[in-house]
Amino acid sequence: MISISKQDSLITVAVAGEFTLNDFRQFEDEVLYQVHLGSKVNILLDLRDMLSYTVDVAWGELAFVREHGSEVGRVAVVTDNQWQAWSAWVSGLLTDADVVVFSDYDEAEKWVSAWPTESE
């Protein structure tokens, strides 16, 4: 299950339980809509309650990052899971976005919200 909220150029996504392809498509649509408005998007991705994801989500994520990675400014991933942190690191290699993993939600929100006012 996925929960998405938007404020200006920040999209906040929380995943609970299994992250499915339908959930990913919702996320993708939100990002593409924001990009269509003409601005880079920042993403706060809260994975603390994610239990699993389907293989098609992983494949979809890689394709999305390769195609739209230059349209993202910052991605803050909140997780304590080593595999999710590793996945975020790999995704960061495929994009121009600044991807950082946090264990503290408030720190992640502060960091991702500072862009573009903070010097890159």
Give the CATH superfamily of 2-113: SpoIIaa-like domains (3.40.50.10600)
pLDDT at 94: 55
Strand order in the sheet with 2-7: 2-7, 10-19, 41-53, 72-78, 98-102
Q: Output the average pLDDT for the chain.
A: 81
Using a pLDDT cut of 70, give the percent of the chain over it: 82
Confidence class for position 31, pLDDT limits 50, 70, 90: confident
pLDDT at 10: 92
Kindly state the tokens that stand for 115.
């862009």
pLDDT digits (tens, 9 = 90+) for 93-120: 557 778 888 999 999 999 999 876 444 4
d(C-alpha 109, C-alpha 95), whole Å: 20
Which residues, at least 6 apart from 93, have a Cβ–Cβ distance to it below 8 Å? none
Is the CB of residue 45 less than 8 Å from the CB of residue 28? no
